A and B are shown apart, each in its own frame.
Chain A
């Protein structure tokens, strides 16, 4: 394993303050980047192979190259609305090393010539937002933000904006609407934010981890960074491992490491030596994988080949004692609550799915319900402005496909249980119905 990049010195006391960060070589890469031509800088970012760490995995340099040149006001927006269930990596980066993020963001802003920039952090991260606010103030004080920074011609502003509790604001266009002071409804694409984003200006939106990786890329050079990891998945990645494991937490890994190594060696595997029933490889929005998939490498393409997605890099481990119906219930409840309601397939589909899982739990479902539920999932996928609906449909669809027996067994058990209770009630009330007896 290579050395840490993102997590270097992460637990050093005071790293969140600018003095300690500077003493560890902080903001040196910004100085180097400012001496480069903008085009060379974008070439460097593209050459590193860095793929977006927020979930979609789109190459970061290519995204930056889409930003049109010209005199119009451009923006960099950092997506710190980390709300994908199971994901908590950005939180640790912001809390312990906020200047690394700020430095990376200023370099990205310089690359596309964006003079006004925002970090949108979820409202629940109150303590982290305070730390970031203080760090931005320090950077401003020391001249890393403001007019003509470090003797260059580049002037740059950065503001922190706090969300107020909405999962959908992690979707990039929902985030832009929220940043503009509206309800966080996703927009129709195209136009993509690179052409028409915040306040209709060209906007580069990147995740906290993506921007935090930029100083390392400048330091190592594109080739040096691309040498880490595997083909088309370069660099290191933070994985948040949680659920039924001994040692949940964030781990910085080289992409391509085997999934078994992550779950068992790093996170200690399930407690009491239990077996793994299934695991989400990239947050709760990704199709589940099973114990049979543990030996695949943890990188974008290998996980995709196994039928899922690397997503935000959040592994949720579910052990054999858990019920898949309960899992589906939690998923459907969450996504139906978080649907913004703009597109019918998502608004209705998530609510329908939730009710159908509820029926299974109540004992009123029939085996046919599973087919209807699976069909509803298929009708959501690809039919909405954003992927929130898909984010429920894919894991639930995969749960039904992979654990159909268990769903059927639970439908049967709960139905029998309900009928037994009803019969008891009828008997107690001395009601006689033909065909039903206590």
Chain B
């Protein structure tokens, strides 16, 4: 476990290939497909992965949905979860880990399940996203099971500055609303119901005219 989290600098200039700064577990035999007969897989995880294989039957297309299922089951892409998924898919854990480390939404460490992404890209930062992230981080403090991070453009610049709370987009978030939002995140309540993107009408006046 500790090995899985060790940071290894690969490039002197901080340039990066996603995931390449993670150490491999050198105590393990590489490239072995886990034995399906001896690897125990929770029933719901197996069902989710088998469903993905049915929908995406060609090649390794079921990898990403399988990794989502692992993350759902364990809260992160844990080595044991990846091992189990590998046994169902009959591929090596390394093949799955290589894919998982590429994508920002897969958690390679046991971080909180309540995921808060604050968009800090151009449009949002022009509207005060950095201050929002800072305030929300301070307000949440060490709240248990919460994982907050700045994120790439989330595609909701019309409600900048915004955040995605467990996939629910909310914004624009004023700094005065941060305490309320933080409370809702910790309690697992619906975040700022009046500010949810899904309820927002189209901005185009031609739409409203009709």
Contacts and interface: CB of A to CB of B under 8 A. Distances in A.
A binds B: yes
Contacts of B203: 247-251
B158 A163 contact: no
A199 B59 contact: yes
A120 B16 CA distance: 25
Contact of B104 (A3, A164, A178, A351): A164
A91 to B, nearest CB: 5
Contact of A330 (B13, B125, B198): B125
A250 B158 contact: yes
B99 A183 contact: yes
A163 B103 contact: yes
B157 A341 contact: no
Nearest to B206: A4
Contact of A327 (B14, B122, B207, B208): B122
Given A11-B202, A339-B16, A86 B123 contact: yes
Interface string A372-415: 00000000000000000000000000000000000000000000
B204 interface: yes
Contact of A341 (B16, B61, B210): B16
B122 A284 contact: yes
A161 B56 contact: yes
B192 to A, nearest CB: 15
A127 B167 contact: yes
B121 A284 contact: yes
Nearest to A346: B15
B156 A88 contact: yes
Contacts of B103: 123, 163-166, 184
A165 B153 CA distance: 10
A34 interface: no
B76 interface: no
A123 B105 contact: yes
Interface string A173-194: 0000011111110000000000
Contacts of B15: 336, 339, 341, 347-348, 350-352
Bin the interface of chain B by size: 35 or more
Interface string B51-70: 00001101111111101100
B98 interface: yes
A159 B55 contact: yes
A167 B123 CA distance: 16
The main secondary structure of chain B at its interface with chain A is: loop
Contacts of A248: 123, 157-160, 203
A316 B99 CA distance: 33
B64 A162 contact: yes
Interface string B153-188: 111111110001001110000000000000000000
A164 B105 contact: yes
B33 to A, nearest CB: 16
Contacts of B67: 164
B117 A124 contact: yes
Contacts of A341: 15-18, 20
B106 A164 contact: yes
A165 B101 CA distance: 11
A21 interface: no
A355 B13 contact: yes
A90 B158 CA distance: 13
B152 interface: yes
B60 A85 contact: no
A43 interface: no
A83 interface: yes
Given A86-B153, A341-B17, A249 B158 contact: yes
Given A88-B155, A127-B167, A180-B61, A249 B204 contact: yes
B22 to A, nearest CB: 13
A125 B102 contact: no
A7 B207 contact: yes
A316 B152 contact: no
Given A166-B104, A252-B204, A347-B16, A338 B123 contact: no
B102 A166 contact: yes
B56 A242 contact: no
B121 to A, nearest CB: 5
B207 A242 contact: no
B13 A337 contact: no
A10 B169 CA distance: 19
A266 interface: yes
Contact of B198 (A127, A314, A347): A127
A243 B152 contact: no
B204 A251 contact: yes
A355 B14 contact: yes
Contacts of B64: 161-164, 178, 181
A88 B160 CA distance: 12
B141 interface: no
Contacts of B157: 85-88, 240, 242-243, 248, 314, 316
Interface in A97-130: 122-127
Contacts of A164: 64, 67-68, 103-106
A122 B105 CA distance: 10
10 contacts: A86-B122, A124-B167, A127-B167, A163-B103, A180-B61, A243-B127, A249-B158, A314-B157, A319-B126, A337-B152
In the complex, the 8 A-B pairs of residues with the closest C-beta atoms, listed nearest first: A249-B203, A341-B17, A126-B167, A181-B60, A242-B157, A351-B15, A165-B104, A181-B63
